[in-house]
Amino acid sequence: MHFLDQAKIYVRSGHGGPGSVSFRREKFIEYGGPDGGDGGKGGDIIFEAVPGLNTLIDFRYTQHFRAQRGKGGSGSNKTGAGGDDLVIKLPVGTQILADDEERSVLVDLTKVGQRVVFLRGGDGGRGNASYKTSTNRAPRQHGTGWPGEEAWVWLRLKLLADAGLVGLPNAGKSTFINAVTNAKAKVGEYAFTTTRPQLGVVSHKGREFVIADIPGLIEGAADGAGIGDRFLGHIERCRVLLHLVDANGEDVGEAYRVVREELEAYGAGLMEKPQVIALNKTDLLDEELIAAMAAELREASGAEVLPISGATGAGVQAVLDKLIEAIGSADSSLPAVAQPDEEDDEPRQWSPLA
């Protein structure tokens, strides 16, 4: 299935049904009077977060969504039937943003089963029976029904994962996620092999957690260079970051600093997340050179460095142990996703890409 993490759609709730103009006419009843019923309410537009979806590809080919309008009222004071609500099913982690310059977040679907009435259907028009007064015994006016609401909105998906893989292109992220999960990420001997995020489930020591691999970052990514900037939003919700550094690079310290500077420039709290640092592709080096590279990376990061090889599996178990430990710490301190009733900081401005 093709991955799509943003889409623009048009939504409109249903119009209210018209009220009825009717008069009671029955045998042996001389003065029947008005008995026109009210119109039915229009259907609502409802967004719902459902499990099993991880892409917005369905919205590439269908962009217009309209709820059913209410039915008209009828005689005998019969109210028209209400229009059916239109429920739009979205992946968990989808944000609905306004189609304006600020791109403000209107709805954030963070939990399975979360439902939000986004646009309310129009109320039905009044039937002529409701216009009857002591001085107006036979009213013929009626309401035509209130119009529904409409809007163009952007959908933006931020994948929900426990751990996020970051690093420069060709750092071995795809090889790593293939080694620890059942994902089938493309692996190649060239940069930007990964062109869209990959998700995989890790099973380790009786625990399961989700890991996300995003395309490699390059210098200037936060300003739009390369393709990784488009997918940085997918690691905003991760509890911990796994930073892979290629041991065969010219300067492992500089490789680490480039990625960290891009995370800092992007903002959204990425720098505050716990991180695990791994020196990857060590199977191509001898012990002495591995120790020297690890020491250089440790000096640049100020944190523990774990030498690993995603290709051979060396050191991978130790990295998974650290990830589980970090995820557990994050669970007990800061939640990965703010709940809808919590006050969030002002959202970072975002501009959808063509």
CATH number for the domain running over 163-332: 3.40.50.300
CA distances to 39, 67, 180, 247 from 213, in Å: 52, 37, 12, 19
Contact between residue 170 and residue 248 where contact means Cβ atoms under 8 Å apart:
no
DSSP string over 183-202: ------SSTT---S-EEEEE
Helix axes 287-301, 252-266, angle to 10 degrees: 30
pLDDT in tens, the chain (354 residues): 466 778 999 999 999 999 999 999 888 877 788 999 999 999 999 999 998 787 888 898 899 999 999 999 999 999 999 999 999 999 888 999 998 887 888 998 988 899 999 999 999 999 999 999 989 999 999 999 999 999 999 998 887 778 888 888 877 888 888 888 876 655 555 454 555 677 778 888 888 888 888 776 655 544 555 555 566 777 777 888 888 888 887 788 888 888 888 888 877 778 888 888 988 888 878 888 888 888 888 888 888 888 888 888 888 888 888 888 888 765 544 444 444 444 444 444 444 433
CA distances to 56, 98, 203 from 151, in Å: 19, 8, 43
φ and ψ at residue 175, rounded to 5 degrees: -60, -40
Question: Measured between alpha carbons, how far is 113 from 97 in angstroms, rounded to an integer?
Answer: 20
> Where are the chain's structural domains?
1-157, 163-332
Q: Which residues of 39-69 are buried (b: 16+ CB within 10 A; e: fewer)?
A: bbbbbbbbbebeeebbbbeebeeeeebbbbb
Question: Measured between alpha carbons, how far is 336 from 92 in angstroms, rounded to an integer?
Answer: 13
Indicate the SS3 state at residue 329: helix
Indicate the SS3 state at residue 179: helix
Domain 1-157: top CATH class: mainly beta
Torsion from C-alpha of 273, 180, 215, 92, nearest 10 degrees: -70
Task: Name residue 68's amino acid.
Answer: Q
The answer to whether the predicted template modeling score (pTM) of the entire model surpasses 0.75 is no
